[in-house]
Chains A and B, each alone.
Chain A
Amino acid sequence: MKLSFLPKDMDWTCELCRQKLQPGFVELHYAGNVFKVELPVCPQCSRVLIPEELAVGRILEVEQLLEDK
């Protein structure tokens, strides 16, 4: 299953590298579990953007599920 959480608005640039963020793959770790998800990533320094909707939505939900495992 492909977990893609790219925001509609991808118009973000990495201040450090002056590169536009692009769709990329990121590992999210929690409570011994690893999820590979698609998120905006800086192609040069790998800086990642976790959008607000994802953090307060799906990520929070999964964190709570894993905490009760």
Chain B
Amino acid sequence: MEQKDLREWEARCIQEEPPACKAGCPLGVDARGFVLAVKDGNPVGARAILEKNMPLAGIVARMCEAPCEQYCLRAICGGSIAIGALECLCVEAVPPRGKPLRLPPRPKKVAVIGAGPSSLIVAFDLAKKGYPVSLFHLQDGPGSWLRNIPETILPGEVLAEELERLARLGVLYRRVEALDESPWAEGDFDAFYIGQDDRLAEDLLVGLGLPDVVTFSLGKSGWFTGGLSAEDDEYRFITDVSQGREAAVSIDRFLQGASLTAARVALRHGKTDLYTPLENIQFVERLVPRAANYTEDEAKREAARCLDCQCLECVKSCVYLKEFGAYPKTYARRVYNNSAIVKGSHSANKFINSCSLCGQCEIICPNDFSMADLCLDARRTMVKEDRMPGSAHWFALEEMRSARTEAAVVRHAHGRQSSSSLFFPGCQLAGIRPDQTLRLYEYLQELEPATGLWLDCCGAPGHWAGEEKEFAVIIRDLEQIWLDMGEPLLLVACSTCLKMFREFLPRITLASVWTVLAERPPKSAKPGVTKVLSDPCTSRHDQKTQAAVRTLLEAIGQPLSPLKNSGELTECCGFGGLMESANPDLAKKVTKARVEQTDREMLTYCAMCRDQLARTGKPVSHVLDLLFADTSHGATEPSVTLSARRINRRQLKNTVLESYAVGQSIPAAQWEGLALHFEDSVSAMLEERRILEDDIRKVLYQTKQEGSSLVHGEDGSRIASAKLGQVTFWVQYKEDNDLFTIQRCWSHRMTVVGGTV
């Protein structure tokens, strides 16, 4: 990912866009953060938030007309939050945070002519930046019309305190008879601000002209103005303050010789791209204080009405996005940093490899942010740069390679030399439900006798793992097989396979098995109790198949209850994108979250989803359980183990081969004949550690051949080990009459070299 790509990714996620209140504040005060701090009973934190953007908060918080409130999204459900009143209460209750920090002194001097609100802000902002500021005021002292505000609103004491703070920042007050051009005549200043919210001398006003509406610069170089509001302006005070701030930005730029306009952020007037859903918001009326001002408790209650405007739409629906504690914009940065890092830990590897690539976020996001695209691209880069963790996808890739070799077979129907259709069940259906795979094939042949059978894997694990080279070879190979079979119509049972074929082999003519079954449901079909249908995540964009399954279920009389995240919004079962391979603990959470969305029995048309969801103990059926009574499995039947899936695929291939001609099956390897026995706890250990019975048999066979076990001195237990591919497996066992009772199994990827006593 290049930096410009990162910028594009970041720009898509709008979570960091300001809420409307902040976008509506001319000073950019984080009103949402402020209100939430009040709600949480943290007035000190609340004042700190104010002071971050609000100059002279003691005055501004009391005087601001709160234009933010007109943009507050709570307005439609009980009235906008009383942000202005809460700010007032906060500055009354909490003293200022000591002396504001000032940058080191700078040589260029600024004259501020006038002492109204806009002038005070210019003086404050520029003094903080280190400029020596002289503020020229009339006889009655700095503050101008602020001195006439009733005590109940702005006490004279507060005004005096804030002016004293300004003086401590280094602002020099200079009393003059008239606010005229005399400071200019001194020849000592590099920039001038004319604050028109004070009683300026006529001769100064004449010939000033109109300022630029963005920079507040005047025609004369180094001259700026502001404080232009009419006295009856609804937002007079805050508008003048805002103009003072904008002028101060311009003066700073002018004194540094920088452009006044480059990369300048215009006032937003409440406009923001932040998306905040407003459905299901309860009406709560604005709290009217019993007395003139809110009490602390009333303030908390009023603040609690804040909607805390956030987008986070994708995060709310995705266990994976929640798990890593942030949102796509920061995730894009993590992915970028992960690839940019040269030395040190690639701490986002697990994050990148944990996404199920299911695509739900892209559907939910108002800007179509796709974590799948982001993560898949990052995985491909990791593979290309040879820094993909070896263990991340190892097991799934081995499964794929096994399904494509020892379990793969393609044949025309018995006695036929060609196929008009070719049934492609997919490797998971073949591994998890081999009996139903054959039963479905039988039925498809009843419908169309010239239907061949193709047991294979579509290569999805290679694609998901970012193994582009290996995947490209698989795709070419699959295409060649299809061509060799005479380009038949491919009848695909698995949503993932369908997606892969559609995307990478568009030449192949395809149909979903479910559309075929919807047109001609088997007569043996029997409905069960009411269930909820969980669409596999890879069917997200396949509305035709989703609709066909529903048509089929309706035709057989299967009652369905709705599931919230279905169809286009469906969720992953925890296997997709190799999440389960890279982050098994997260996959368990994803699966649990999915089954907890309903109290009813679940139903799906993906074998992997069925077994994944059923692993939680939830009753889950496969649609095939309803269609063919003679091969129906119970909804509470335990999931098929990893070991059994591998063996099932091989046996299915042999069954198919034997059905063509006796003796055609592949002879079993010698290691396959070893008889194993283990307790359930050991079975669970194998599953958890992803150790297959095949692996154990191979290790035991090799060790037995070599006579190279380790034998325990007391109980006669033995330990065998062998390196199979990238992994070294260890088996602790006892042998009795050719029966191996397995006690423990473990493995590691480190290689053992040498050994000296």
Given A12-B711, A15-B711, A68 contacting B349 (CB threshold 8 A): yes
Given A11-B714, A50-B728, A63-B749, A27 contacting B754 (CB threshold 8 A): yes
Given A14-B710, A16-B706, A52-B730, A63 contacting B753 (CB threshold 8 A): no
Find A67's partner among B389, B721, B752 (CB 8 Å cutoff).
B389
Task: Give the distance in Å from the alpha carbon of A66 to the alpha carbon of B747 in the complex.
Answer: 17
Given A49-B710, A50-B728, A68 contacting B345 (CB threshold 8 A): yes
Q: Which residues of B contact A41 (CB under 8 A)?
A: 755-757
With both beta carbons as reference points, the residue of chain B lying nearest to A13 in the complex is identified as: B711
The listed residue with most A CB atoms (<10 A of its CB), out of B392, B708, B721, B732, is B708
Find B713's partner among A11, A24, A46, A48 (CB 8 Å cutoff).
A11
Interface size on B, residues (CB 8 A): 39
Task: Give the distance in Å from the alpha carbon of A21 to the alpha carbon of B349 in the complex.
Answer: 39
Given A41-B755, A68-B389, A47 contacting B710 (CB threshold 8 A): yes
For residue A67, give the distance in angstroms from its CB to the closest CB of chain B. 4
Interface membership of B746, Cβ < 8 A: yes
Q: Which residues of B contact A26 (CB under 8 A)?
A: 752-755
Find B719's partner among A16, A49, A68 (CB 8 Å cutoff).
A49
Task: Give the distance in Å from the alpha carbon of A23 to the alpha carbon of B62 in the complex.
Answer: 78
In the A-B complex, the 5 residue pairs with the smallest Cβ-Cβ separation, listed nearest first, are A67-B389, A46-B755, A11-B713, A24-B757, A41-B755
Q: Is the interface of A mostly helix, strand, loop or mixed?
A: mixed
With both beta carbons as reference points, the residue of chain B lying nearest to A14 in the complex is identified as: B710
- 26 A/B residue pairs, CB under 8 Å, sorted by A: A11-B712, A12-B712, A14-B710, A15-B707, A15-B709, A15-B710, A15-B718, A16-B707, A16-B708, A20-B713, A22-B757, A24-B757, A25-B756, A26-B754, A27-B752, A29-B753, A30-B749, A41-B755, A48-B755, A52-B730, A55-B747, A59-B750, A67-B389, A68-B345, A68-B347, A68-B349
Find B753's partner among A23, A24, A28 (CB 8 Å cutoff).
A28
Q: Which residues of A contact B389 (CB under 8 A)?
A: 64, 67-68
Task: Give the distance in Å from the alpha carbon of A23 to the alpha carbon of B757 in the complex.
Answer: 6
Interface membership of B346, Cβ < 8 A: yes
Interface membership of B384, Cβ < 8 A: no
Does the CB pair A59–B345 fall under 8 Å?
no
Find B754's partner among A30, A46, A56, A64 (CB 8 Å cutoff).
A46
Task: Give the distance in Å from the alpha carbon of A17 to the alpha carbon of B712 in the complex.
Answer: 14
Interface membership of B289, Cβ < 8 A: no
Does the CB pair A67–B390 fall under 8 Å?
yes
Given A15-B709, A67-B349, A55 contacting B757 (CB threshold 8 A): no
Interface membership of A65, Cβ < 8 A: yes
Does the CB pair B757–A60 fall under 8 Å?
no
Residues 442-478 of chain B, each 1 if its beta carbon lies under 8 Å from chain A, else 0: 0000000000000000000000000000000000000
Q: Which residues of A contact B12 (CB under 8 A)?
A: none
Does the CB pair A29–B751 fall under 8 Å?
yes
The listed residue with most A CB atoms (<10 A of its CB), out of B719, B746, B755, B757, is B755
Does the CB pair B755–A25 fall under 8 Å?
yes
For residue A13, give the distance in angstroms from its CB to the closest CB of chain B. 5
Q: Which residues of A contact B345 (CB under 8 A)?
A: 65, 68-69
Interface membership of B293, Cβ < 8 A: no
With both beta carbons as reference points, the residue of chain A lying nearest to B345 in the complex is identified as: A68
Task: Give the distance in Å from the alpha carbon of A55 to the alpha carbon of B719 in the complex.
Answer: 14
Residues 707-747 of chain B, each 1 if its beta carbon lies under 8 Å from chain A, else 0: 11111111000110100000010101000000000001011
Task: Give the distance in Å from the alpha carbon of A67 to the alpha carbon of B349 in the complex.
Answer: 9
Interface membership of B748, Cβ < 8 A: yes
For residue A5, give the distance in angstroms from its CB to the closest CB of chain B. 12
Does the CB pair B730–A55 fall under 8 Å?
yes
Interface membership of B565, Cβ < 8 A: no
Interface membership of B139, Cβ < 8 A: no
Task: Give the distance in Å from the alpha carbon of A16 to the alpha carbon of B706 in the complex.
Answer: 8
With both beta carbons as reference points, the residue of chain B lying nearest to A10 in the complex is identified as: B713
Given A67-B391, A68-B349, A69-B345, A47 contacting B708 (CB threshold 8 A): yes
Find B750's partner among A9, A29, A56 (CB 8 Å cutoff).
A29
Task: Give the distance in Å from the alpha carbon of A60 to the alpha carbon of B744 in the complex.
Answer: 17
Q: Which residues of A contact B749 (CB under 8 A)?
A: 30, 63
Given A15-B711, A41-B757, A49-B719, A69 contacting B728 (CB threshold 8 A): no
Q: Which residues of A contact B747 (CB under 8 A)?
A: 55
The listed residue with most A CB atoms (<10 A of its CB), out of B391, B707, B756, is B756
Task: Give the distance in Å from the alpha carbon of A34 to the alpha carbon of B751 in the complex.
Answer: 9
Does the CB pair B750–A13 fall under 8 Å?
no
Residues 377-408 of chain B, each 1 if its beta carbon lies under 8 Å from chain A, else 0: 00000000000011110000000000000000
Q: Which residues of A contact B347 (CB under 8 A)?
A: 68
Does the CB pair B349–A63 fall under 8 Å?
no
For residue B161, give the distance in angstroms from its CB to the closest CB of chain A. 55
Task: Give the distance in Å from the alpha carbon of A13 to the alpha carbon of B717 in the complex.
Answer: 11
Task: Give the distance in Å from the alpha carbon of A55 to the alpha carbon of B745 in the complex.
Answer: 10
Q: Which residues of A contact B712 (CB under 8 A)?
A: 9, 11-13
Find A50's partner among B344, B711, B730, B753 (CB 8 Å cutoff).
B730
Task: Give the distance in Å from the alpha carbon of A17 to the alpha carbon of B718 in the complex.
Answer: 15
For residue B726, give the distance in angstroms from its CB to the closest CB of chain A. 10
Find B756's partner among A11, A24, A50 (CB 8 Å cutoff).
A24
For residue A10, give the distance in angstroms from its CB to the closest CB of chain B. 9
Does the CB pair A68–B752 fall under 8 Å?
no
Find B755's partner among A29, A42, A59, A62 (CB 8 Å cutoff).
A42
Does the CB pair A13–B710 fall under 8 Å?
yes
For residue B395, give the distance in angstroms from its CB to the closest CB of chain A. 14
Task: Give the distance in Å from the alpha carbon of A14 to the alpha carbon of B347 in the complex.
Answer: 42
For residue A61, give the distance in angstroms from its CB to the closest CB of chain B. 11
Q: Which residues of B contact A65 (CB under 8 A)?
A: 345
For residue B745, give the distance in angstroms from its CB to the closest CB of chain A. 8
Q: Which residues of B contact A49 (CB under 8 A)?
A: 710, 719
Find B757's partner among A11, A13, A27, A43 (CB 8 Å cutoff).
A43
